[in-house]
Amino acid sequence: MNFRKLFLLPLSLALAAAGALADGDAKNILDIWWGDVPAAAEELLQTRPEIWNFGFRPYGSASFWLWTDPLQQRNILAGDAPEGKNFTAVSASCNADGFNILLYTVEAAMQGAIAKTNDLPKGRAEIYILPGDTDTRDMIPYYQFEIVANPDNEIVNYPWAVEDRRYRNPTPYMSLNSRRLNNGWLHVISIPWEPFWDKLPFLDRADNFWRLGVIRFGVHATWGGVVHEASRFGYIRFPRFTDAQKTEIRKRLLERAWTRYLSLRNTPTYNASRSWGAPWPRFDKFIVEDEAAHPRTHVHYTQDPDFSPILADLEKERNGLAAGIARFAEMPTEEQEAFFAKAADMLFNFRYDVEKAYTKFLNARLFED
C-alpha cells in the first residue's frame, strides 16, 4: 500500500479547498445576541469572548484568511498589549429598545500616546447598515455613518436618500459611547428600533439576516468589502424573536410614536429628525397685520382657519388610537400586528399626512373655479 499517496491525497484536497476559500468572496456572519449591554461594556470582552468576531481582513481583500488566530484573540480580549498590531472585533446585541453594535478597536499606540504625540488614537470607522438580505431582493439605500472617539460622542451621517415616510436618517436617534481601554477603544453604538419601525427583523426563519459593513480607517481593515460595496457587506443574524419579545418591541414603539405625535400636535415646530426646520407659526406685529390685510394668506397651516376642520379630523383619527395602545399587550397576535401596522404609520408619519392634506387643500384652492 502506498501510504505516501494516501497522505498526499487528503492534503491536496485540503489545500485545494483552502485555495477556493481564499479566492472566493468570503463573507462574515455575526449572530446578534438578545440582552442588555452593561454600563461597563468592556466586561463583555472577558466574560463573553464567544460573542466577538475578529473577521476583519486587509482592506479590499476577500481572502478567507484572517489576521488573528484564537490564541491572539484570547490574549487581546484579556487586555494584553497588541504587540504592534491594531486588531479589530465586532459584536452586536438587541433588546426591546433597539440593537447595539459594539466595535473593539485595538490601538498598539495607546500606551503613552499623549506623551509621544500629544494626542490619542481615535479608532475611526465607517459603518453601513442595510435592513434585509440583499442576496434575495432588490438593493435599497443603505444607511452609512462614521464614528470616531471624541468627547461629544458625535456620529456623522452620510445621507444617500431623501427622507420620507419610508426612509429615515437614524443618526438623530442613535447614541455613541466610546470607552477608553488600556489597549484601545470599545465603541458602543446604540440604535433604537424607531427609525426602522417598518423594517423590523421579524421574519420567522432561521437565517433572519440584515447586512452590515464596517471599514476601520487608519489600519485599513474591513468587515465586508470596500466602501459602499453593498453586495459584499457581512451578515448580521437576528434571533428568532418570541411572541413576547415582539409584543414588547412593538408596544414600546407605539408608546414612542404616541409621544412623537403629541409633541407635533401640541407644538407644530417640533422636529424629531429632520436637519431642516419646517415653517412655524408667526405672531409678530408685521405678520399679523399682513395676514389681516390678506385673509387667505398664512405662514403656517395651523393659522389657516379654512384648513382647521381637516386638521381636526386628522388629529381625531390619531387621538382615537390611544385606547388601542393602552391595551396592546392584551390583544391576540394577529390583532397586534394589524393594529401596529396601522397605528405606527399614522403616528410616526403624522407630519407627512398633514403636509399631504394641506398640499391637496391648497391645490384645490389654487385651481378652484
The answer on 336 and 202 residing in a single domain is no
What pLDDT score does 18 carry? 37
Percent of the chain at pLDDT > 90 equals 50
What pLDDT score does 227 carry? 84
- DSSP state letter for 150: -
Q: Quick one: pLDDT band at residue 220, thresholds 50, 70, 90?
A: confident
The answer on 163 and 23 residing in a single domain is yes
Closest listed residue to residue 227, CA positions, set 308, 171, 146, 163 = 146
Nine-digit cell at 136?
434575495
Percent of the chain at pLDDT > 70 equals 81
Residue 159 CB-half CA count within 13 A: 13
What pLDDT score does 24 carry? 42
Sign of CA dihedral 158, 271, 253, 175: positive
**Residue 126 in domain:** yes
The answer on 362 and 277 residing in a single domain is yes
The answer on 50 and 168 residing in a single domain is yes
What pLDDT score does 246 carry? 98
DSSP of 102-128, one letter per residue?
EEEEE-TT-TTHHHHHSS-----EEEE
What pLDDT score does 4 carry? 42
Nine-digit cell at 14?
485540503
Q: What is the total count of domains within the chain?
A: 2
How far are the Cα atoms of 16, 90, 315, 330, 360 from residue 346, in angstroms, in the given order? 57, 36, 10, 21, 18
pLDDT in tens, 286-342: 777 877 787 777 767 787 888 999 999 999 999 999 999 999 999 999 999 999 999
What pLDDT score does 280 carry? 59
Q: What is the CATH number of the domain that holds 63?
A: 2.60.40.1190
**Residue 2 in domain:** no
Structural domain boundaries, residue 297 = 246-366
Let me know: does 69 contact 131? Beta carbons within 8 Å: no
Q: Quick one: pLDDT band at residue 62, thresholds 50, 70, 90?
A: low
**Residue 68 in domain:** yes
**Last residue of one domain, picked from the residues 240, 261, 283:** 240
**Last residue of one domain, picked from the residues 187, 211, 240:** 240
pLDDT in tens, 100-140: 999 999 888 887 888 888 888 888 999 999 998 766 655 56
The H helix count followed by the E strand count for the chain is 10, 13
The answer on 258 and 205 residing in a single domain is no
pLDDT in tens, 136-189: 655 568 899 999 988 788 899 998 888 889 999 999 999 999 999 988 899 999
Q: Quick one: pLDDT band at residue 82, thresholds 50, 70, 90?
A: low
Is the pLDDT assigned to residue 201 strictly greater than 80?
Answer: yes
